[in-house]
Amino acid sequence: MATDPRRKEALAELTDRIIQTYYEISSINHLGHCPLPSNEVVFEIANDLKEVIYPGYRRRQNLHVGNVAYYVGDLIDSLHDKLTQQIARALRHEHQKGHQIVCGSRPEIDFEAEGQKKAILFLETLPSIREMLAHDVQAAFDGDPAAGSLDEIIFCYPGLEAITIQRLAHELYLLEIPYIPRMLSEWAHSRTGIDIHPGARIGSSFFIDHGTGVVIGETCEIHEHVKIYQGVTLGALSFPKDENGEIIRGAKRHPTIEANVVIYANATILGGDTVVGAGSVIGASASITKSVPPNTQVTVEKPQLRFREAS
């Protein structure tokens, strides 16, 4: 099909106008020479980590005592290299942005060495993460009569997928690595419909049943043996501001959920000073903005149903 010369001119003119916006609206483009963390590689890292945590359930079959050490060792070696590169990129960009340093100038910090150090510190947490996730899998089995086996939970449950990525991202968050923890959590969010900030502190034996629509904020603290259902929000009541009207970042904005609490579907619990006491049960659709004593049941009075003969 012949190309209309006028169309080519119009497309060239459109391209020029788009490029012009890169100079006028520079806040949403990155045109420096220093690469940013790669979404594709970060998501590869996530899948490699899940392969290490749950060997035999995903990509590689027929693992046994004779080959698992070689297989996992190869994964760890690859993860070390990928994490070092991506963490170094994140640290370099955050440093340059904070100090208004032009990309390409000679850095006073060895970001590759810093990235490698943090990568190793993160990888050293994997045994303890596996232990936590084993408790989470057992909690899901114990808390869901529809679960046929632990294998079914590992294969199929979106709540486990979300908490697996959150526990990994949380360790990166504690290491003060920018961007990558949130990239991981939003990747899990897009896959599961469950939004857990990597900063949230979550104890062992945590179970999210069904899961869709769950939101857990950055400064939320969840103790051990907590179970929540779909649509639950553990959010902020308000955002404190300084004298200039700017949001104060880092303050505790989200609730604390103590041990052995159950929170049913679509309940909302808000506020950094809000504590749900141990052993409490929060009923479906409850909205809570103040603390709940331990061993308390909170329910919403149901509206009365009316039945009448259809005309």
CA dist 272 and 238 (Å) reads 9
Which residues, in sequence order, are CB contacts of 105 under 8 Å at separation 6+?
none
Smallest CA-to-CA distance from 270 within 247, 240, 290, 248 is with: 290
Q: Is pLDDT at 278 greater than 90 in this prediction? A: yes
Confidence of residue 250 (pLDDT cuts 50, 70, 90): confident
Per-residue model confidence as pLDDT tens digits over 222-249: 999 999 999 999 999 977 777 887 877 8
Confidence of residue 3 (pLDDT cuts 50, 70, 90): low
Global pTM value? 0.92
Per-residue model confidence as pLDDT tens digits over 137-169: 999 999 999 999 999 999 999 999 999 999 999
pLDDT value at residue 2? 58
Burial group, residue 1, by CB count within 10 angstroms (0-12, 13-18, 19+): exposed
CB 272 within 8 Å of CB 287: no
